[in-house]
Amino acid sequence: MAMAGCVAAGNVALAAEGVGIKPGTPEIPGTPWQVHDGTRPQPRVVETGGALSVKAPGDAKVLFDGKSLDAWTTDGKPASWTVKDGILVASPGTLTTKEQFGPVQVHLEWRVPAGRQVNGQGGGNSGIFLMGMYEVQILQSHTNRTYPDGTAGALYGQTPPLVNATAPQGEWQSYEILFHPPKYEGEKVVKPATVTVIQNGVVLHHAREFMGPTKFRQLATYPPKHPETGPLSLQFHGDPIEFRNIWARPIGGYDVEAK
């Protein structure tokens, strides 16, 4: 998200978009922070060894193996993102899986190309949307500062990662994500969606609750009706973010056996 919040790339001196600024957005309940609050503390930086490249387990749905985009569509049409030298390059349109997932484990690897000028939310931005609506942010966050709920691994617009574990620009990063959809009774949420995120082997969130589907500059809240499954989607935010080795495994609910 945050297309509308982009500052044009090109001025490195401004490479701290939103930092130190109260954005005038709604306050997040239970916190003193506003949505996209630049005065919220920056996550502590942790140096890592970079991506953990995990081969798809035998029961995984392979979503991208360096060749085919058969598992995806772009905005309902045949997938049109670029594949070059075994790497998937973010291109116009949202890339969405044909398969629908409920509780799911996802592995993906991503990279912001070296040498690309990055400024806050601009230049190095993508994201993975669970059920097509809950974003875990992808951003060049190694040397680039932005509002903490928009940094790499943030539940965008809601909760920053526990730490900043982003490897240098030009290096591969890995995400392991465990996601459970919200539980409803009628039109009421009785258990919010939760997510665990591990980047480059470092935990960013552990069973963290989403406040609702991702919103930009607004409070996220749960709608009265919610599907039980949804696709995974990758965001095109104007930047040619690169991906490799993407797979997913249904994992069952908290109280349901995995299939």
Q: Which stretch binds Mg ion (CB under 5 A): 24-32, 53-61, 97-105, 134-142?
A: 134-142
153 forms part of the interface with Mg ion (CB under 5 A): no
- Output DSSP code: residue 141: -
Local structure of 12: helix, strand or coil: helix
CA neighbor of 126 nearest in space, from 136, 114, 116:
136
Q: Shortest gap between Cβ of 124 and Mg ion (angstroms)? A: 10
If the CB atoms of residues 104 and 136 are measured against Mg ion, the closer one turns out to be: 136
Q: Shortest gap between Cβ of 128 and Mg ion (angstroms)? A: 9
Each residue 74-113 as x (binds Mg ion by CB under 5 A) or -, in order, gives ----------------------------------------
Give the pairing type, strands 233-234 and 95-97: antiparallel
If the CB atoms of residues 38 and 102 are measured against Mg ion, the closer one turns out to be: 38
Long-range contacts of 193-197, Cβ-Cβ distance < 8 Å, separation of 24 or more: 193/130, 193/131, 193/134, 195/130, 195/134, 195/136, 195/155, 197/136, 197/153, 197/161
> Among residues 122, 127, 161, 181, which is the contact residue for Mg ion, using CB under 5 A?
127
Q: Which stretch binds Mg ion (CB under 5 A): 49-57, 180-188, 192-200, 228-236?
A: 228-236
CA neighbor of 66 nearest in space, from 82, 79, 54:
82
- Rounded to the nearest 10 degrees, how much is the dihedral formed by the CA atoms of 142, 143, 144, 148? 60
If the CB atoms of residues 1 and 28 are measured against Mg ion, the closer one turns out to be: 1
If the CB atoms of residues 103 and 214 are measured against Mg ion, the closer one turns out to be: 214
Q: Shortest gap between Cβ of 156 and Mg ion (angstroms)? A: 6
If the CB atoms of residues 33 and 236 are measured against Mg ion, the closer one turns out to be: 236
The span from the CA of 152 to the CA of 220, in Å, is: 19
Are 95 and 234 in contact, with CB atoms under 8 Å apart? yes
Give the pairing type, strands 87-89 and 183-185: unpaired
Q: Which stretch binds Mg ion (CB under 5 A): 8-16, 131-139, 165-173, 220-228?
A: 131-139
If the CB atoms of residues 88 and 251 are measured against Mg ion, the closer one turns out to be: 88
Q: Shortest gap between Cβ of 258 and Mg ion (angstroms)? A: 29
Following DSSP, what letter does each residue of 57-120 receive, concatenated? PTTSEEEESSS--TTEEETTEE--SEEETTEEE--SS-EEESS-BSSEEEEEEEEPPTT---BT
Alpha carbon 54 to its chain centroid, in Å, reads 18
Q: Shortest gap between Cβ of 125 and Mg ion (angstroms)? A: 5
If the CB atoms of residues 71 and 241 are measured against Mg ion, the closer one turns out to be: 241
Tokens 């900043």 label which residue? Answer: 164
Given the rule CB under 5 A, which residues bind Mg ion? 125, 127, 137, 235
